[in-house]
Structure 1
Amino acid sequence: MNKSELVAAMAAKAEISKKDAEKALKAFEDAVMEELTNDGKVQLVGFGTFEVTERKPRVGRNPKTNEEIQIPGGKAPKFKAGKALKDAVNQ
């Protein structure tokens, strides 16, 4: 499912226009992005948690030359599925 299909499904389930569903999805994306940018986390009970994790710097290998390279650390967004979502997927 791509973004336009998601917007159409949201509009149908909520019985709203596609334009309003697209605004709601954009607002959700913006709110999550803003919270993660500020090192926060977003918990949706039963659905899952969006959070930021720290990646440590590590040594990698260039597959073409087999030379060792340094891979810098940084932050990465992470999603952890909640119990209700896991149960729904596993049925």
Structure 2
Amino acid sequence: MSPTTEIEVEITGREASLAVKYGHLFAEQAAIFEAVAGKAGYHRLVIEKCWLEMLTGDLVYSMKKTRSLALQEELDALCDVLENAIQAS
């Protein structure tokens, strides 16, 4: 069994709220994001790489389902942040 790869990602409180609402997270991962959701400023979260990859996929799915261009842009920007964190690890 391979060791888990934890990744540090820096997101805003708004981005954390979007992750919780549109990311279809399991309770353990949701708690990580809920702790900073809606809070001002940037926050550093540590989460396993596999969960970030799954979250990114969920956000892309949600982005394709919404009709709001503004929300699509926010979700796309969050996906960029997560993908950059994954790439940098």
Q: Same fold (TM over 0.5)?
A: no
Higher helix share: 2
Q: Larger relative CO (CA 8 A, sep 6+): 1 or 2?
A: 2
Q: Could you state the TM-score of these two structures normalised by the residue count of structure 2?
A: 0.31
